[in-house]
Structure 1
Amino acid sequence: MPDSLFPAGADGPAQPLIAADIARGVMRLFADLGYAAVPEVPLRAKRRADIMALNAAGEFVIVEIKSCRADFRADQKWPEYLDFCDRFYFAVAADFPREILPEDRGLIIGDRHGAAILREAVATPLNGNRRRAQTLQLAMLASQRLARVMEMVG
């Protein structure tokens, strides 16, 4: 199954909408916290972070969105994301069975209107070289996406 905000599977058509709504709320939350958040960010580990956010201090956050129990159980690649962020969070809807999530990771509850951090993520600082390379990669990705949007509306 490809990494994506829109997981395929037996959960039916509502799951992609749930994931997209959670993503919207999480991105609003991080904007309010002073972060620049970008969805669907490719990582050098041949994975894609659902959301990567960067603050003015250069701190990276990765958020892994889980839309349902089956999505969490089917996708156990999230530990590979830990080498690419200072903080890692799971983001889920309010009715998600939170007891199945690892207690040692951050937790965000969200919907299309906003989100809230229920459990802070433990800080594990990135290697300086990776931080520099990743900052450049995220800036390039965001700039390229903005240029595409401008091309579409122009």
Structure 2
Amino acid sequence: MNTPGQRLARGTCRHLHTHGFVCLEEVIPTPGLRVDVMALGPKGKIWVVECKSSRADFMADGKWQNYLPWCDRFFWAVDTQFPTDLLPPDTGLIFADDYDAEIIRMGPDQKLPPPRRKSITHIFARAAALRLQALRDPNHLSLRI
């Protein structure tokens, strides 16, 4: 059974796919950080989405600002019952459920420096490849992520 955050991530990923993005959940851009959804766009843009299922979930997240240097745009994905007045107004906002989502507000476009873009694109590609290999060969110990 999926958690509320995983359901928000699923709907968000489905929606971002309609915009030409491919998504990975729970990506580690650098040790100590794990983003809920990282999306790679058709022109190489990197979007990060943090899924928050409740006020308490949001209040417990003290490190979301550390994700900003790892993306071109940052979004929150919440359900329509979430108290959106808690969310910083200068960030993106997505309403999501298990099946789809809608971008309500675009976050500012903060162009990644080329070396950081290369690094995070490499991290994204490597994570995706490892996950695919692990699906093909689930008993191979070195493929566990």
Give the 3-state SS of the residue equivalent to 1:116 in structure 2.
Answer: strand
RMSD: 1.3
Q: Is 2:38 the counterpart of 1:49?
A: no
Runs of 4+ in 1 over 2 A off after TM superposition: none
Corresponding residue of 1:137:
123
- Give 1:94 deviation, angstroms: 1.1
- Give 1:121 deviation, angstroms: 1.1
Corresponding residue of 2:15:
29
Structure 1 counterpart of 2:3, from 14, 17, 32: 17
Aligned-partner residue type, residue 86 of structure 1: D
Which runs of 5 or more structure 1 residues have no equivalent in the other structure? 1-13
Counterpart Cα distance in 1 of 2:119 and 2:29: 11
Q: Is 2:110 the counterpart of 1:114?
A: no
Structure 1 counterpart of 2:61, from 67, 75, 98: 75
- Give 1:56 deviation, angstroms: 1.8
Give the 3-state SS of the residue equivalent to 2:3 in structure 1.
Answer: helix
- Give 1:17 deviation, angstroms: 2.1
- Give 1:45 deviation, angstroms: 5.0
On the 8 A contact 2:46/2:71 being kept in 1, the answer is: yes
Give the 3-state SS of the residue equivalent to 2:126 in structure 1.
Answer: helix
On the 8 A contact 1:18/1:93 being kept in 2, the answer is: no
Aligned-partner residue type, residue 118 of structure 1: I
User: Please, what TM-score do these two structures have when normalized by structure 2?
Assistant: 0.91
Which runs of 5 or more structure 2 residues have no equivalent in the other structure? 139-145
Q: Aligned pair count? A: 138
Counterpart Cα distance in 1 of 2:134 and 2:123: 17
Counterpart Cα distance in 2 of 1:83 and 1:38: 18
Structure 2 counterpart of 1:94, from 58, 80, 99: 80
Give the 3-state SS of the residue equivalent to 2:57 in structure 1.
Answer: helix
User: Please, what TM-score do these two structures have when normalized by structure 1?
Assistant: 0.86
Corresponding residue of 1:7:
none
Aligned-partner residue type, residue 64 of structure 2: W
Corresponding residue of 2:44:
58
Could you tell me the percent identity over the aligned residues? 38
Per-residue CA deviation, residues 6-37 of structure 1 (Å, 9 max, x unaligned), is xxxxxxxx9x6211110100000111110010
On the 8 A contact 2:29/2:123 being kept in 1, the answer is: no
